[in-house]
Each structure stands twice: as structure tokens, then as C-alpha cells.
């Protein structure tokens, strides 16, 4: 739906009484074009911000009370808390994300001397792997920064979001999602070296193609174990490789170096995880070079190779997303398609020629439903700006 900010303010006034002194903000979700599970392995990523994301309304209070309401979880009603109660709990549900940001602000010496009334609304499909959690984190950080007058850069807001998700929410994610939400730029993807946080904006010029996101409408839990397992397996591989080659991260290796030293990783599972991290990092570098050279065909082939690696070596895809990718590869006019995001469900991202978009949606959608009894959702997306105030 098109989001009407004035309607959000009306809802705020209905919930909390009046809408004077309220401010509205937006932080986008993201799709990663290529470079998956490289962000915590010292590699490169290539995400872009979307025009869907999370909206927030904030008004400071005179006491330490927190009142939080999400239009996406309206059955929970207004969740009341306090700045004295910034601890994670299952009962807190979605509010663990904004509370985690407040906790991180305090931990970093940014003292919140007053509470706030907050309203949120997100138009990112739940469980889609398009970073609704990072969007909510960056949004909360931006609202707090502006409301309390803290001198914090957008890069630092991304780092605060990552720290919060790692240490308050128990999800051992890398920096990519928060960075893309905070630092996105319209019509550009961000070529980010996650080891150094050096980045450049690369215009995404697809003169005859569109980015299409396909939501499998399947979500296998991320926070539970598998994502954190992959990180631990990668770290084990790194330690083994460091006994034979001087590297700080898996992203330091070329494909040739990995093949030379890979036998140091005796565990075959850890070796596969390292192979993905190394090869995916190099694929991402080559993909950006191809995009800059307007070689969209090569860009698409690298996207396909990324999916195969995520399926076979990193094992973060699933039957449904594998099916979506394979169906896409068989549609004429699809230049590339792969799973995107943390994995275990969620979405695929495809580069589809303009005159094939309708056929792609119809063909893939029909075959997917026939094979799974699940209805996929398709979004032809635009690349938007990073988090910002709306008024």
C-alpha cells in the first residue's frame, strides 16, 4: 500500500492523544544483489536500499516511560515499558528491537533522559529476508539521534544497529543490512568492503531490465541456530587457514589461494563454508566490475553462480528458494536469479528483461504454486534512499 504519513500521525493522535511535537521518519529495507554471507567474513557486499521499509512517529515524554505500538502487531496493543527496563524478553516481542537500540545508546554513553511515545508501521513483508529488523533498528536510532540531539553519523547508526542485534537480540549478523538501510542512495547499490567499511556508490543501470524480488512465503527460523552455525563454521575454517597463511579474514583470500591452502581445513563442512565465503567475495568484486562495464549478461551469470554456491557450499537455501531460482533460470529474458538475504526461506532476487517481466511472474508463479501449494509474491522494485526524516 502507498503509505500516507498523515494517516500514521492520525493513528498516533488516536493512541496517545494529540499529534503536536511529533516527527516522522523512514528507514528502508534492502535487497542484496550479490555478496551473501560475506559481510561477517571480511568480504564485499553489494546491497541497495528499497522504497519499502519502516515508518516511525516519535514524541518525547517528560518521564522515563516508553509506549510502543506497531500497526503490524496491533493485536499486542500499546506495549508499555521504561528506560529502566531495557532487557530482552520473549514477552516483549517485536519491541526488543527498538529497546535494544536504546540499550546500545546508553551503553555507548548517549544518555536518554526522557522516554517517548512511538508508533511504527512497516510495509516490508514479514519473514521475507528484506531486512525488516535492520530497518527498524536504523529507524529507531535515527529517531533517537534527532530527538535527543546526539552527534552520531549514519555509519555509526548502522554499527549501533548491528551491535544491538548481536548482543541484545542474539542474532550474530554482519553489518550489511544496517549499513544499506542507513546509507542507501536512490538508483545506486553500495559496494561495501565489510572489513574496512570503505564503500562506493555504484549506479545500477539496467536500461532494458528490472529487479524483481520473489517472496517464497516460506520462513525457516534464522535466529535459532543455522545462521549462527554458519558463522561459527566459517570462523573455524579461518582459524585453520591462519595456521598456514597470513590472513585476517576469509575475504583476504583469492580463489587460487584458497585452493592452495584449503587442505588445512580438515573438517569438510567448514571447508565448504570457507569456499563459499572466498568465492562469493570474488564474485561480488567481478559483478561490480561487470555492472560498471554495462556487461549485464556477466552480472547475471555471477548472480546464478552465487545461488549455486549458497545451495551447495553454504547450504543456506531451501527447497522452495531453490525451486524459485531454477524456475527463473528457465524463463527466457531472465539474466540471473538467486536467493537473497540470510537464507532458509525468504526471497529470491532476479534481473529480468523488461519485455519478460510479465511472463516471468506468470510462469514462475504458476509452476511454484503447482509444486508447493504456496503462492509466491512478486515485487518489481525501485532502489531508494537511506533512512531520513519525513518532515
Distance CA 331, CA 222 (A): 30
Distances (CA, A) of 249 to 33, 41, 143, 306: 22, 6, 34, 20
Do residues 180 and 161 touch, judged by C-beta distance below 8 A? Answer: no
State the Cα torsion 103-95-92-69 to the nearest 10°: 130
Q: How far apart are CA 198 and CA 144, in angstroms?
A: 26
CA dihedral sign, ordered 172, 71, 384, 60: negative
How would DSSP label each residue in 364-380? Answer: HHHHHHHHHS---EEEE
Q: Are strands 116-122 and 65-70 parallel, antiparallel or unpaired?
A: parallel
Q: Determine if residue 153 is left, alpha or beta; phi over 0 gives left, psi from -120 to 50 gives alpha, anything else beta.
A: beta
Q: Which one of the listed residues 117, 177, 193, 252 is annotated catalytic?
A: 177
Q: Report the alpha-carbon distance of residue 230 to residue 222 in Å, rounded.
A: 11
Beta strands in 15-46 (DSSP E): 23-32, 44-45
372, 243 contact by CB (below 8 A): no
Establish whether 90 is a catalytic residue. no
**C-alpha separations of 165 from 89, 193, 222, 253 in Å:** 14, 20, 13, 28
Considering only CA atoms, which of 77, 75, 54, 52 is closest in space to residue 67?
77
Among 48, 341, 49, 43, smallest CA distance to 197 is for 43
CA 99 to chain centre: 19
The alpha-carbon radius of gyration of the chain (Å, integer) is 21
For residue 207, what is its C-alpha cell?
536500461
**Positions marked catalytic:** 177
Amino acid at each position: 500500500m502507498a503509505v500516507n504519513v498523515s494517516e500514521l500521525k492520525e493513528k498516533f493522535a488516536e493512541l496517545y492523544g494529540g499529534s503536536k511535537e511529533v516527527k516522522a521518519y523512514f528507514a528502508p529495507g534492502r535487497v542484496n544483489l550479490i555478496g551473501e554471507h560475506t559481510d561477517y567474513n571480511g568480504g564485499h557486499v553489494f546491497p541497495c536500499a528499497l522504497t519499502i521499509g519502516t515508518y516511525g512517529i516519535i514524541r518525547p515524554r517528560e518521564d522515563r516511560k516508553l509506549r510502543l505500538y506497531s500497526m503490524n502487531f496491533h493485536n499486542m496493543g500499546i506495549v508499555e515499558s521504561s528506560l529502566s527496563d531495557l532487557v530482552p524478553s520473549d514477552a516483549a516481542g517485536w519491541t526488543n528491537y527498538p529497546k535494544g537500540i536504546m540499550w546500545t545508546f546508553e551503553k555507548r554513553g548517549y544518555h536518554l533522559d526522557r522516554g517517548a511515545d512511538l508508533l511504527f508501521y512497516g510495509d516490508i513483508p514479514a519473514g521475507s529476508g528484506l531486512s525488516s529488523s535492520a530497518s527498524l533498528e536504523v529507524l529507531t536510532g535515527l529517531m533517537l539521534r534527532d530527538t535527543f540531539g546526539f552527534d552520531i553519523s549514519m555509519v555509526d547508526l548502522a554499527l549501533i544497529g548491528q551491535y544491538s542485534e548481536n548482543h541484545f537480540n542474539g542474532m550474530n549478523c554482519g553489518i550489511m543490512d544496517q549499513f544499506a538501510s542507513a546509507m542507501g542512495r536512490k538508483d545506486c547499490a553500495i559496494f561495501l568492503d565489510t572489513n574496512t567499511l570503505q564503500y562506493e556508490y555504484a549506479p545500477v543501470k539496467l536500461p532494458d531490465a528490472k529487479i524483481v524480488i520473489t517472496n517464497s512465503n516460506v520462513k525457516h527460523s534464522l535466529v535459532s541456530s543455522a545462521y549462527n552455525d554458519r558463522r561459527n563454521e566459517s570462523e573455524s575454517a579461518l582459524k585453520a587457514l591462519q595456521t598456514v597463511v597470513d590472513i585476517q579474514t576469509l575475504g583476504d583470500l583469492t580463489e587460487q589461494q584458497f585452493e592452495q591452502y584449503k587442505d588445512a581445513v580438515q573438517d569438510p563442512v567448514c571447508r565448504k563454508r570457507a569456499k563459499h565465503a572466498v568465492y562469493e567475495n570474488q564474485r561480488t568484486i567481478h559483478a561490480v566490475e561487470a555492472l560498471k562495464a554495462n556487461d549485464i549478461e556477466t552480472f547475471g551469470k555471477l548472480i546464478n553462480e552465487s545461488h549455486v554456491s549458497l545451495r551447495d557450499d553454504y547450504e543456506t537455501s531451501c527447497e522452495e528458494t531453490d525451486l524459485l531460482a531454477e524456475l527463473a533460470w528457465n524463463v527466457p529474458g531472465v539474466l540471473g536469479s538467486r536467493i537473497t538475504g540470510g537464507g532458509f526461506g525468504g526471497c529470491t532476487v532476479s534481473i529480468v528483461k523488461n519485455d519478460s517481466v510479465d511472463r516471468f511472474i506468470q510462469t514462475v508463479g504458476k509452476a511454484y504454486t503447482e509444486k508447493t501449494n504456496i503462492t509466491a509474491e512478486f515485487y518489481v522494485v525501485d532502489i531508494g534512499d537511506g533512512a531520513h526524516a519525513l518532515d
